[in-house]
Amino acid sequence: MDITAIIAQDLGAKAWQVEAAIKLIDEGNTVPFIARYRKEATGSLNDEQLRALSVKLEYLRNLEARKEEVIALIDEQGKLTDELKTAILAAQKLVTVEDLYRPYKQKRKTRAEAAKKRGLQPLADFILAQNTKLPLEQEAEKYVTGKIEPASDSKEDILKASEKEVPDVQAAIAGASDIIAEQISDNAAYREHIRNTTRSQGTLVSRAKDEEAESVYQNYYEYEERIDKTAGHRILAINRGEAEKILLVSVNAPKESILGYLEKRIIKNDNPYTSPVIRSAIADSYSRLIAPSIEREIRNELTEKAQTGAIDVFGKNLTQLLLQPPIAGQTVLGWDPAFRTGCKLAVVDPTGKVLDTKVIYPTAPHNKIEESKKVLKDLISKYNISLISIGNGTASRESEQVVSELLKEIRDKNIHYVITNEAGASVYSASKLATEEFPEFDVGQRSAASIARRVQDPLSELVKIEPRSIGVGQYQHDMDQKKLSDTLSGVVESAVNKVGVDLNTASFSLLSYISGISPAVAKNIVSYREEHGRFSSRQELKKVPKLGPKTFEQCAGFCRIMDGDEPLDATAVHPESYSVGRALLKKMGCGLRDEKNIRAFRNSIRDMSALAGEIGCGEITLKDILSELEKPARDPREDLPKPVLRSDVLEMKDLKPGMKLKGTVRNVIDFGAFIDIGVHQDGLVHISKMADRYIKHPLEVVSVGDIVDVTVLDVDEKKGRISLTMIDR
């Protein structure tokens, strides 16, 4: 099997690109490093392509290892033929290898195995030969043993005797039929056909265990849909309903078509003595052995495909959330809303330092609104607060109402508030990391500080939280947790490395996602910084314990040092290319950040390839370095839309059909997107209302964090549902 060719076809890449990427991965290079600093070698394969390549490479290598294992196991039995070996080696899916291995696999005790022990294999072969011109009972009579007396009265001897007994002709034929049924089930070609037929023609069926019971799964109480048409989010919903013992789920296969196919392949002629027995064995094989197995396989395939799709959507949503532009240079009041226990506040300066914390009780059951407003006014005045970040959890709407009224009383147009997604804040505030960061604070104060910091620098704060706890997915708790964790960790790693980190201010959490840096090395970097003071150059990283040459190579380009000994340390230019950067600056006769002259020089280049040869680097690398010199350490998040800042509250009762609003995309799912339009409840834009053209998935139109214009379609206050459209009417 040509692994390189298969991956190249899957990725839509050239074989040489895949070959180069595999070589770099095998040499221990990370995906972010390869994507950013080895573009010449891979032809500019990006992070997403490289991660997909890495996953496929692992699968295919495991497949090859399993092939060798299966070949060896069959060979040990002396049953390996050249034809079988060729078929195994040609297989491109693990299920095909397992189908081919099935007849040789050591099985648990089965009816067929028991029949073979009774010596009925020759009778099964005789029936399948379909040549007899005499009643089958005459041949079966030869295998009747009658009662076999045990060698002794011991349980073991009695069992051995019973295992060899064939009491009558009917038992002989039944045993032979069991052998035939298992042989049919073990046939790889039959199973492949049945699997494909069930996939293409079968349906997924769900029924309610109790039709009278009310639940969120009522759409699936009488549900049937073709397997190849069932959307991933419906599969996940049905699976959850089944797990909660509300739904009964099954696969409805085209049984008559499948039985007809098997009979056509197995029955050679219409023999009156053997055909009825074979037909019965075929029906038994399918219903007892094949159908349950194929149903499990297809259900697993559907679930895996649905989970992969959901994880992919989660990853894309998470990427957008992590890369939300920071609101820098403002002192922020973080507000963790609550009812009984009070609202926790934390004042955070522009550097992320917590200046003060308070607890106020403006919500029920306390309703100390005026007292709370006084505390807020004092904090705003004392610390010159310009932004209030309110978590979107319990009591968020009530808190927003208080803030809106307060801002009207203050009448300062420079003060705004923003509703911040607080998903995962409670997880972080109770974590060991939060305890180490804020040992003197309780969980509420930590949560308020996190809510404030999330608008100042979303990436730096969100990396402290387990990715799956950040609420931008669907059914994440039903996923394969390892696959989910691996995928989301890769997403966070890509986001952190895309932005880069300030080596002298980055937290342990942020550093641990940098290319090549393990959690242990991240701790060593922080410890070194605390002991020796700020880093003055990237080269100083080499003094950090356990940070060797390979780690330095992988991480250096993503670590920034502002106002250090080497100006290029503040850029994304890798130390290995400093000579190129210096040569370019010398040729241009200007310094870093001289945007005008660098752009003029870039526009004047007539032959990029010739200049690359003159400077001593690849053309792609040259373009990247020119871009970086023009805007060194440029934050890619600057291009994304800023969060919507508010000064007045909107309530659900204020919404009317036809009302046009501006909102922020909070979550994207398979069937639409949830939009924050400034009321307590996010509105849903169904996929059919996103564009005046057909779209396959909402991500074609929107991403988490996007600012969109929407029109209200319908409001159901009782159910707390808001329907929106993005199609301009």
pLDDT digits (tens, 9 = 90+) for 400-411: 889 999 998 998
Identify the top-confidence range among 65-74, 419-428, 606-615.
65-74
Structure tokens at 110: 């089965």
pLDDT at 474: 67
Sequence length of the chain is 729
Topology, domain 3-104? Arc Repressor Mutant, subunit A (1.10.10)
Classified as helix, coil or strand, 333 is: strand
The Cα–Cα gap between 283 and 292 comes to 13
Does a cis peptide bond (omega within 30 degrees of 0) precede residue 365? yes
Percent of the chain predicted with pLDDT > 70: 99
Stretch among 125-129, 201-205, 315-319, 550-554 having the lowest mean pLDDT: 315-319
Taking all residues of the chain, what is their mean pLDDT, rounded to a whole number?
Answer: 92
CATH number belonging to the domain at 328-456, selected among 3.10.150.10, 3.30.70.920, 3.90.420.10, 3.30.420.140: 3.30.420.140
Give ranges for CATH 2.40.50.140 in the chain.
652-725
Nearest to 326 by CA among 209, 235, 444, 453: 453
228's CB contacts (< 8 A; 6+ apart) are 199, 200
The answer to whether 105 and 79 have CB atoms below 8 angstroms apart is no
Confidence (pLDDT) at 499: 94
Nearest partner of 456 among 333, 632, 345, judged by Cα: 333
603: its two tokens: 């526009």
State the burial class of residue 153 (Cβ atoms within 10 Å of its Cβ: 0-12, 13-18, 19+).
Answer: exposed
Average pLDDT of the segment spanning 606-631 = 91
Mean local confidence (pLDDT), 604-610: 91
In single-letter form, the type of residue at position 276 comes to P
pLDDT tier at 649, thresholds 50, 70, 90 = low
Residues 683 and 666: their CA atoms lie apart, in Å, by 10
What's the pLDDT band for 631 if we cut at 50, 70, 90?
Answer: confident
* Of 115-119, 387-391, 600-604, the least confident: 600-604
Other C-beta atoms closer than 10 Å to the C-beta of 27 total 9
Residue 101 belongs to what H/E stretch?
Answer: helix 94-101
215-230 pLDDT, tens digit per residue, is 999 999 999 999 999 9
pTM over 0.85: no
The pair phi, psi for residue 505, each rounded to 5°, is -125, -15
**Looking at the domain 652-725, which fold is it?**
OB fold (Dihydrolipoamide Acetyltransferase, E2P) (2.40.50)
- Which residues are within 8 A (CB) of 242 and not within 5 positions of it... i.e. 6 or more apart? 206, 248, 249
Which pLDDT tens digit goes with each residue over 502-536? 999 999 999 999 999 999 999 999 999 999 999 99
Q: What's the rounded Cα separation, in Å, for the pair 174 and 240?
A: 41
Which of 28-37, 181-190, 421-430 comes out lowest in average pLDDT? 421-430
Report the alpha-carbon distance of residue 573 to residue 615 in Å, rounded.
Answer: 15
pLDDT value of residue 729: 62
DSSP string, 629-657: HHSTT--GGGGSPPPPPBSS---GGG--T
Question: What pLDDT shows up at residue 469?
Answer: 80
The structure tokens 């002629």 sit at 269
Question: How far is Cα 268 from Cα 265, in angstroms, rounded to an integer?
Answer: 8
Give the model's confidence band at 650: pLDDT under 50 very low, under 70 low, under 90 confident, else very high: low
Q: Does the pLDDT of residue 181 top 70, yes or no? A: yes
Give mean pLDDT, residues 700-727. Answer: 90
Write out pLDDT tens, residues 413-468: 889 999 888 888 888 898 898 999 899 999 999 999 999 999 999 999 999 988 87
Report DSSP letters for 485-499, one per residue: HHHHHHHHHHHHHHH
Give the three-class secondary structure for 601.
Answer: helix
Q: Give pLDDT, residue 107.
A: 78
Q: Is the dihedral of CA 451, 455, 460, 463 positive or negative?
A: positive
Taking residues 485-510, report their average pLDDT. 93
Instruction: For 491, list phi and psi in degrees, rounded to 5.
Output: -65, -45
Residue among 253, 245, 335 nearest 296 (CA)? 253
Whether residue 565 has pLDDT greater than 90: yes
State the CATH class of domain 111-309: mainly alpha
Query: Where in the chain do CATH 1.10.3500.10 domains reside?
Result: 111-309
Kindly give the interhelix angle for 255-266 and 188-201, rounded to the nearest 10 degrees. Answer: 160
Positions of CATH 3.30.420.140 in the chain: 328-456
